[in-house]
């Protein structure tokens, strides 16, 4: 072979080698990235080529699939009571991908998960069409309905947990949206999607998990927990050394009380009527670092995954003394999700043991065999059983004699705490109305609830945790107690 031909042969050989290397690189190294690429439409087409598995509540599917006339997408996702369940399910859209459970458990729901390999293989031999598996949730249908209907046309959120296990029983957010409205690939779906994303009320925001609010006086239960755990209070009925007016440390600013009789008020009385001065002073006595420590034991300053990611609630680690005093009554930079405050309440109701919250009970194959079961898991023990029971006494006193009487249920022990959280520049905006509570049955406490209402339509003077949020919490607790019977 002459020299020019040899060079051409070597060059062509190198090209073939480069082609083989590139092909193998794409097929084995970059395969996952290409599969996950949002521009890879084949993934979406495959996702809707067969009936999608369902998300299930109490044995009933709250999702479905319907056959379409589309040339690319054979099936489209449907939802039962979509707006009520959207904070739980998320959405699955041919045009706009998916989120929340629909996204996290997409492999199970589409049938593409490696855990369903046996089912897919058997379907090949039997000639059956591939089907997706099911996601069985921990939700209580009655509690979810009570939460959603209780919020009504108000803007807000509800989170409810079983303190004994960590199971999420309700997760409501309003205003909401119907995931069915943009599940397809038509012009009307795009219009619905664009309208929802432009809506100033953010109906697609999961307020129960992703919005953080100043918790107001509901945070006082954490301050009380810190005061008890760190030895600043030993008897909840003994007077505290709290002047009225109380001056914030290192300032000339008076802490305003909205209730009378707060001077030297015992912790029990201070919780009953929500004395700002007592809890601000206790927060200062405990110190910022110990307050941070206690808040973090309850879950603050960390994201949670239930399995949907939640925003981290905040207790500032770098604030000064007066800011810590303000934070101890749920103001300044303190912020919490409704789920976080439900976790706090659940830990108190469960004698100091905080269970990890979760909302997927099990995953099922298409023939309903259990693929994976979630077992309850202890997350932390923020407070001792003895101090938890003291907090229960105080919270039950709030409902029996204090600001939380609207949550009382005949024949049931209910503990609660109201909160009215100021926000906006110079506290100019309508406050948020909070209520946290738990109910006790024969087998302990089956439900802890957190409700927040950001009701811009109510008169400022009419906004209170006891007035707006407590009746919603009561309805949710009643629904859970009924299902326990």
The neighbour count for residue 296, using CB atoms within 10 Å, is 16
Strand stretches in 71-126, DSSP E: 75-79, 92-93, 97-98
Answer whether residue 434 shows pLDDT above 90: yes
Beta-strand pair 60-61/55-57:
antiparallel
Q: Which two tokens stand for residue 442?
A: 């024969």
Q: Which of 113, 181, 217, 445 is catalytic?
A: 217
pTM: 0.89
Domain layout of the chain by residue ranges: 209-361+375-484
pLDDT tens track for 55-106: 999 999 999 999 988 778 889 999 999 999 999 999 999 999 999 999 999 9
pLDDT recorded at residue 429: 63
pLDDT recorded at residue 467: 82
Q: Which of 463, 455, 434 is nearest to 201 (CA)?
A: 455
pLDDT recorded at residue 266: 97
pLDDT recorded at residue 357: 98
Answer whether residue 25 shows pLDDT above 90: no
- Rounded Cα distance between 389 and 413, Å, is 13
pLDDT recorded at residue 17: 83
Confidence grade of residue 3 (pLDDT, cut at 50, 70, 90): confident
Average pLDDT over residues 20-36: 68
Q: Which of 47, 24, 19, 23 is nearest to 35 (CA)?
A: 47
Average pLDDT over residues 105-114: 91
Confidence grade of residue 460 (pLDDT, cut at 50, 70, 90): very low
Q: How high does pLDDT run on average in the chain?
A: 90
> Over pLDDT 70: what percentage of the chain?
90
pLDDT recorded at residue 462: 36
Average pLDDT over residues 148-154: 96
Answer whether residue 232 shows pLDDT above 90: yes
**In this structure, CATH architecture of domain 209-361+375-484:** 3-Layer(aba) Sandwich (3.40)
pLDDT tens track for 158-198: 999 999 999 999 999 999 999 999 999 899 999 999 999 99
pLDDT recorded at residue 222: 98
Start-to-end CA distance of the chain, whole Å, equals 92
- 217 part of the active site: yes
pLDDT recorded at residue 33: 64
pLDDT recorded at residue 21: 79
pLDDT recorded at residue 2: 74
Answer whether residue 424 shows pLDDT above 70: no
Report cis status (omega within 30 of 0) of the bond before 307: yes
> Over pLDDT 90: what percentage of the chain?
74
Confidence grade of residue 461 (pLDDT, cut at 50, 70, 90): very low
Answer whether residue 304 shows pLDDT above 80: yes
DSSP 208-261: HHH--B--GGGGHHHHHHHHHHTTS-S-TTSPP---SSEEPTTS-PEEPPSSS-
């Amino acid at each position: 072979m002459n020299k020019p031909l040899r060079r051409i042969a070597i060059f062509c050989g190198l090209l073939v080698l480069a082609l083989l290397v590139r092909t193998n690189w794409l097929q084995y190294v970059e395969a996952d990235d290409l599969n996950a690429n949002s521009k890879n439409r084949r993934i979406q087409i495959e996702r809707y080529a067969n009936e999608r598995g369902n998300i299930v509540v109490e044995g009933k599917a709250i999702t479905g699939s319907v056959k379409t006339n589309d040339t690319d997408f054979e099936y489209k996702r449907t939802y039962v009571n979509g707006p009520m369940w959207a904070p739980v399910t998320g959405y699955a859209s041919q045009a706009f991908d998916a989120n929340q459970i629909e996204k996290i458990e997409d492999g199970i729901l589409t049938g593409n998960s490696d855990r369903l390999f046996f089912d897919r293989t058997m379907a090949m031999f039997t000639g059956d069409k591939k089907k997706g598996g099911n996601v069985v949730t921990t939700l209580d249908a009655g509690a979810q309905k009570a939460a959603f209907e209780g919020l009504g046309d108000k803007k807000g959120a509800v989170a409810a947990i079983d303190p004994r296990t960590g199971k999420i029983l309700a997760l409501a957010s309003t205003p909401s949206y119907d995931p069915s409205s943009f599940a397809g690939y038509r012009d009307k779906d795009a219009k619905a999607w664009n309208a929802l994303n432009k809506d100033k009320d953010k109906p697609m925001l999961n307020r129960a998990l992703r919005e953080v609010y100043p918790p107001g006086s509901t945070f006082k239960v954490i301050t009380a927990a810190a005061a008890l755990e760190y030895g600043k209070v030993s008897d909840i009925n003994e007077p505290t050394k709290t002047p009225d007016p109380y001056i914030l440390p290192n300032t000339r600013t008076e802490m305003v009380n909205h209730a009378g009789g707060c001077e030297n008020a015992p912790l029990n009385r201070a919780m009953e009527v929500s004395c700002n001065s007592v809890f601000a002073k206790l927060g200062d006595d405990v110190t910022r670092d110990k307050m941070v420590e206690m808040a973090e034991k309850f879950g603050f300053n960390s994201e949670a995954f239930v399995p949907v990611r939640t925003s981290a609630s905040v207790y500032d680690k770098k604030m000064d003394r007066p800011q810590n005093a303000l934070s101890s009554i749920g103001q300044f930079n303190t912020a919490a999700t409704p789920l976080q405050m439900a976790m706090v309440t659940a830990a108190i109701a469960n004698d100091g043991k905080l269970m990890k919250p979760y909302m997927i009970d099990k995953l099922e194959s298409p023939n309903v065999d259990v693929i994976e079961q979630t077992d309850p898991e202890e997350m932390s023990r923020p407070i001792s059983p003895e101090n938890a029971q003291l907090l229960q006494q105080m919270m039950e006193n709030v409902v029996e004699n204090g600001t939380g009487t609207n949550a009382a249920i005949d024949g049931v022990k209910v503990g609660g705490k109201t909160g009215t959280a100021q926000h906006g520049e110079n506290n100019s905006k309508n406050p948020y109305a909070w209520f946290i509570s738990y109910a006790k049955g024969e087998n302990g406490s089956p439900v802890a609830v957190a409700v927040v209402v950001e009701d811009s339509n109510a008169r400022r003077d009419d906004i209170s945790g006891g007035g707006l949020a407590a009746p919603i919490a009561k309805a949710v607790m009643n629904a859970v107690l009924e299902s326990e019977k």
